[in-house]
Amino acid sequence: MRIATWNINSIRLRAHHIANIDADIICIQEMKCQDAEVPISQLEEMGFHHNHYRGQKAYNGVGIFSKLPLSEVEMLDFGGNDQARHISAKLPNGVRLHNFYIPAGGDEPDPAINASFAHKLQYVDDMTDYLKSLSGSHIILGDFNIAPFEHDVWSHKQLLKVISHTPIETEKLARTYKTLGWVDVSRHFVPMDEKCYSWWSYRNRDWRKSNRGRRLDHIWVTPDLKENLINHQILADARDWEKPSDHVPVIMEIDIS
């Protein structure tokens, strides 16, 4: 089974690019449209016939688009703002798949003066409390908007005061990671001392040349699924697609039936 996560930054603008992603299930963040505007017929033509999504006008929006049947769909609120940032469903084998879109948090890394950053921190706290309550086999993925490790950013030193890599964020995500002893799939396959990115800013004229990336998009699995991991791929070339998202798809191949 191949499962992908991608912050598409408008599904209406970029749905056709999904055809370039070899996956049985693709989890999308930042759809930027209401439910009625999701291009379902286009996705069904690509073989995605089992689709569940939670849209929001102009902002946010998450969806699970699957070639395999899904069941027991849940849509939960974290952070208290009733935003479309979570959806989960059970796979045919009973593993629950969660799609999270953690808030970006704005520009000022001080929750006392930046409500967006305060919301982000509350979201992560709520997410952590929720994950503590779970049992069984789970996969969580999505745009976490946090690059937790030194080599998940182009410059650890220069980004310590930049939202997505501040100590308070990385420490909170570390607590999230410990809840069920999660396995970080990207770092399972990519050594910790190697740079690993899934996002490059639109502000870079030549993203390849500057390579000032961050690893904001994640896939984690519970420890019981670790031995089932087969492969991992970050589609960096997607950053060169026509009118690209600033994020690229991350794909996990796992042996679960």
Q: Kindly state the average pLDDT of the residues 9-32.
A: 98
pLDDT band at 194 (very low <50, low <70, confident <90, very high): very high
pLDDT band at 97 (very low <50, low <70, confident <90, very high): very high
Per-residue model confidence as pLDDT tens digits over 160-193: 999 999 999 999 999 999 999 999 999 999 999 9
Give the pLDDT confidence score for residue 237 in this predicted structure. Answer: 97
Comparison of pLDDT for 80 and 240, the residue scoring more: 240
Q: pTM value?
A: 0.97
> Where does 2-254 sit in CATH, by number?
3.60.10.10
Three-state secondary structure readout of the chain: CEEEEEECCCHHHHHHHHHHCCCCEEEEECCCCCHHHCCHHHHHHCCCCEEEEECCCCCCCEEEEECCCCEEEECCCCCCCCCCCEEEEECCCCCEEEEEECCCCCCCCCCCCCHHHHHHHHHHHHHHHHHHCCCCCEEEEEECCCCCCHHHECCCCCCCCCCCCCHHHHHHHHHHHHCCCCEEHHHHHCCCCCCCCCEECCCCCCHHHHCCEECCEEEEECHHHHHHEEEEEECHHHHHCCCCCCECCEEEEECCC
Per-residue model confidence as pLDDT tens digits over 108-165: 999 999 999 999 999 999 999 999 999 999 999 999 999 999 999 999 999 999 999 9
Res. 80: pLDDT tops 80: yes
Q: Kindly state the average pLDDT of the residues 54-67.
A: 96
